[in-house]
Amino acid sequence: ISYNVSDLLMKISSLIDTCDYQLAFQFAKKALSLENDNLQVLEILGMIEIELEMFDEAREHFSKAISINPNDGYSKYMYMGQLSSGLEAISHFQNGVNLMISEYDDSTTKSSSTSSLLQDLQDLDGSNKKIQLNRKISNALCSMIEIYLTDCCFEEDAEQKCEEYLNKALELDSLNPEVYQLLASVRLSQQRNDDAKIALEKSLDLWINLDPGHPSIPSYESRISLVKLLIELSQYTQALSVLELLQKENDEILDLWYLYGWCYFLMGQDSQNEQDHLTHWEDARDCL
């Protein structure tokens, strides 16, 4: 049986849906051998290679996709940002953000020039797409802020860039808990602890009461970072609430039990009551 690229892409998509990345990788390589400049193939192969931790190969394929079509399609820049570090990563994320903003502006212009009846029919779908795009842009800005808080923290304009990206992210998506969590990180780095606490409270309020599995709940890794911030700000009760939710989701993560133990240890250390002091330290020992 001979397959064309379109057939192979359908097969690859179904394999990705079932998380069979090894077989998807074989089909993607076959597709690339048939059309080595096919953008869709290059991007899907890069995505599969990330899942298989073949990061150098993924960079090569996303770089090629960018060189073939630099002015259209933001996702390849997002992936390259994740695969890069420092100012190079910032540059990729910025290119992706620019393309997303351009796409947002185009959709706004098109909807405003549509006939009123057709516009009414398209409004709901268009509104949802804009919300999703805004979330993607704000998440990309969050990635850029994280880089300025870590790899590029000694850059002269690091603090200014963090504030600029935070303001833009909040303007685009004021319901994104990740933005408020990063706002807290920035305020903490500025020793503005009260402002950091307010930002974390806002971040928590946006998702803490949602049903498990809700798409608005931040990733496990992000919530682990949230717990670290809460502990640093002595918000132990809130930290334990998040840890309990994480434990229900997956109790085999080492960081989870370390943070449980560290939180109980600090609660015991700060306690004025001798019995509470001992109880918290016993809990800490059990966790560690």
Once rounded to an integer, what is the mean pLDDT over residues 227-237? Answer: 95
The answer to whether 101 touches 77, Cβ cutoff 8 Å, is: no
Q: What are phi and psi of 84, to 5 degrees?
A: -115, 180
pTM of the model: 0.84
Q: Which CATH architecture has domain 1-70?
A: Alpha Horseshoe (1.25)
pLDDT at 129: 80
**Percent of the chain at pLDDT above 70?**
86
pLDDT tens profile 245-260: 999 999 888 999 999 8
pLDDT at 118: 56
- Domain spans of the chain? 1-70, 72-171
Q: Locate 16 and state its tokens.
A: 């990705």
Once rounded to an integer, what is the mean pLDDT over residues 164-183? Answer: 95
CA dist., res. 145 & res. 164, Å (int): 9
Chain CA centroid to CA 268, Å: 34
Strands (E), the chain: none
pLDDT tens profile 46-102: 999 999 999 999 999 999 999 999 998 999 999 999 999 999 999 999 999 999 988
pLDDT at 274: 65
Spatial CA neighbour of 133 closest among 168, 175, 102, 104: 104
pLDDT at 19: 94
List % helix, strand, coil for the chain (3-state, nearest 5).
75, 0, 25
What contacts 80, CB < 8 A, 6 or more positions away? 59, 62, 63, 66, 89, 92
Spatial CA neighbour of 178 closest among 213, 134, 212, 211: 134
* Confidence check: pLDDT of 107 > 80: no
**Percent of the chain at pLDDT above 90?**
73
Mean pLDDT of the chain: 89
pLDDT tens profile 136-171: 999 999 999 999 999 999 999 999 999 999 999 999
